[in-house]
Amino acid sequence: MASEPVNVNEFQELARQALPKMLRPRVLVDVSRIDMSTTILGYNISAPIMIAPTAMHQLAHPEGEVATARAAAACNTIMILSNMSTCTVEEVASSCNAVRFFQLYVLKRRDISAQIVHRVEKNGYKAIVLTVDTPRLGRREADIKNRMVAPQLRNFEGLLSTEVDTDKGSNLEALIKGIYDTSLSWEDIGWLKSITNLPILIKGVLTHENARKAVEVGVAGIVVSNHGARQLDYTPATISVLEEVVHAVGGRVPVLFDGGVRRGTDVFKALALGAQAVLVGRPVVYGLAANGERGVRRVIEMLKDEFELTMALSGCPSVKDITRSHVTTTEFDKPRSML
Ligand SMILES: Cc1cc2nc3c(=O)[nH]c(=O)nc-3n(C[C@H](O)[C@H](O)[C@H](O)COP(=O)(O)O)c2cc1C
Ligand SMILES: CCCCCCC(=O)C(=O)O
């Protein structure tokens, strides 16, 4: 038996040995050409790495979502514009030729949500991503401490006041409480379908029960997401429930994945467990804050470069070659993944 560790660094090494090595590469495969491209809802993109909806990009950079959209176009990927963007649906649409999806929060004022959906359609967005894990805002303690005040949300200009006074430190919670429709339920997917012909994906599914229900009500896709762990404490890591959802969906609609994608190997693992593509949230905002459009481009390019190398070293020349047998599952994950 190995000797007892005598310092913390030695524990690090023991931990490394104890943890599973996730990837199972294959060798002697022709990887002289790697094709990362894939198709999402019929749209061809250069790699299965998309831009997650994140609110208020002008807090990170003065050009806001316009810069992010231009980076998406340059990288030939899909950007999902947040309903709570600082640039308008129209400004983003006219700034670039990226394929754009639109993320929707349904408001108490359904007439205003319907108007926004019509503007989205008119401006060439290709799908609606309905976020369903945010009937109320999770408790954002950093926002409270920082006395966070939302900037103007210009999609609502002339439609709805987004100014809220609060003495609690942050106005976000009160603002959301005032405007989001907390009564939203499965029946309302029918309402959304009745006001748009765009495909509807739902974002925020973490269980096989909800995944089956989503397919039943006729969504065009599912995003496995815990909202970047910003909503409910103790929700599972999304990677640990991805396979449960994929099994329940059974290939009937595409399953997208987000949460903690920081490396090309993370993209590879998500695809091996059945996702069609990943969405990236915070890293895009970091790139935007650091260097505007160029920063976002670099973030996406880095992830693509790492993913391409991972594919080559795993013996997968194209994304369809990435299979379940390219990753191992830990004992902890096994019971869930069998569902
Ligand atoms: C600053 C910030 C703002 C976000 N805003 C939205 C939003 O407006 N709509 C939405 O559906 N999700 C929003 N999200 C969640 C992301 O879409 C995504 O689920 C999450 O960030 C993915 O995890 P990652 O940041 O680890 O990549 C936001 C996340 C962050 C960090
Ligand atoms: C008042 C704008 C805040 C909207 C919340 C956006 C969001 O989903 C997030 O996670 O932050």
Which residue has a Cα nearest atom 4 of ligand 1? 54
Distance CA 137, CA 174 (A): 9
Q: Are residues 155 and 267 both part of a single domain?
A: no
Q: Are residues 214 and 309 both part of a single domain?
A: yes
Contact indicator for 299, 262 with CB cutoff of 8 Å:
no
The tokens for 272 are 């091996």
Question: What is the model's pLDDT at position 334?
Answer: 60
143 is in an annotated binding site: no
Q: Are residues 271 and 195 both part of a single domain?
A: yes
Distance CA 139, CA 259 (A): 18
Task: Please name which ligand lies nearest the alpha carbon of 131.
Answer: 1
Please indicate, yes or no, if residue 59 is contained in any of the structural domains.
yes
Predicted structure pTM score:
0.94
Q: Are residues 242 and 280 both part of a single domain?
A: yes
Question: What is the model's pLDDT at position 29?
Answer: 98
Instruction: Please tell me if the CB atom of residue 155 comes closer than 6 angstroms to any atom of ligand 1.
Output: no
140 is in an annotated binding site: yes
User: In ligand 1, which atom is closest to the CA atom of 131?
Assistant: 11
Q: Quick one: which of 105, 81, 83, 75 has its CA closest to 93?
A: 81
Kindly calculate the radius of gyration of the chain based on its CA atoms and give it in whole angstroms. 21
Predicted-assembly ipTM surpassing the 0.95 threshold: yes
Question: What is the model's pLDDT at position 335?
Answer: 55
Please indicate, yes or no, if residue 316 is contained in any of the structural domains.
yes
The model's pLDDT over 69-86, given as tens digits with 9 standing for 90+, comes to: 999 999 999 999 999 999
Please indicate, yes or no, if residue 113 is contained in any of the structural domains.
yes
Tell me how crowded residue 173 is: count the other CB atoms within 10 A of its CB: 20
190: helix, strand or coil = helix
Which residue has a Cα nearest atom 1 of ligand 1? 54
Which residue has a Cα nearest atom 6 of ligand 2? 55
Q: Quick one: which of 192, 247, 190, 185 has its CA closest to 222?
A: 247
Task: Name residue 201's beta-bridge partners.
Answer: 129, 221
Among 57, 61, 208, 227, the active-site one is 227
Contact indicator for 172, 231 with CB cutoff of 8 Å:
no
* Cα maximum dimension of the chain: 72
Tens-level pLDDT at each residue, the chain (339 residues): 468 999 999 998 888 777 776 899 999 999 999 999 999 999 999 999 999 999 999 999 999 999 999 999 999 999 999 999 999 999 999 999 989 999 999 999 999 999 999 999 999 999 999 999 999 999 999 999 999 999 989 999 999 988 887 776 788 988 999 999 999 999 999 999 999 999 999 999 999 999 999 999 999 999 999 999 999 999 999 999 999 999 999 999 999 999 999 999 999 999 999 999 999 999 999 999 999 999 999 999 999 999 999 999 999 999 999 999 999 876 656 655 555
User: In ligand 2, which atom is closest to the CA atom of 230?
Assistant: 10
| Choice from 86, 129, 137 to test ligand 2 binding pocket (greatest atom count within 8 A of CB) | 137
Task: Please name which ligand lies nearest the alpha carbon of 138.
Answer: 2
Please indicate, yes or no, if residue 238 is contained in any of the structural domains.
yes
230 is in an annotated binding site: yes
Q: What is the DSSP letter of 58?
A: G
Q: Are residues 109 and 147 both part of a single domain?
A: no
Task: Please name which ligand lies nearest the alpha carbon of 278.
Answer: 1
- The domain total for the chain is 2
Which residue has a Cα nearest atom 20 of ligand 1? 228
Residues of the domain holding 268 = 35-130+181-337
Q: How far is ligand 1, taken at its centre, from the CA of residue 286, in Å?
A: 12
Q: Are residues 172 and 192 both part of a single domain?
A: no
Question: What is the model's pLDDT at position 336?
Answer: 56
Q: Are residues 194 and 227 both part of a single domain?
A: yes
Question: What is the model's pLDDT at position 326?
Answer: 97
Written in H, E and C, the secondary structure of 253-322 is CCEEEECCCCCHHHHHHHHHCCCCEEEECHHHHHHHHHHHHHHHHHHHHHHHHHHHHHHHHHCCCEHHHC
Question: What is the model's pLDDT at position 3?
Answer: 82
Q: Are residues 284 and 203 both part of a single domain?
A: yes
227 is catalytic: yes
The tokens for 56 are 């208020």
261 is in an annotated binding site: yes
Q: Are residues 174 and 187 both part of a single domain?
A: no
Instruction: Please tell me if the CB atom of residue 133 comes closer than 6 angstroms to any atom of ligand 1.
Output: no
CATH number at residue 101: 3.20.20.70
User: In ligand 2, which atom is closest to the CA atom of 140?
Assistant: 11
Question: What is the model's pLDDT at position 337?
Answer: 56
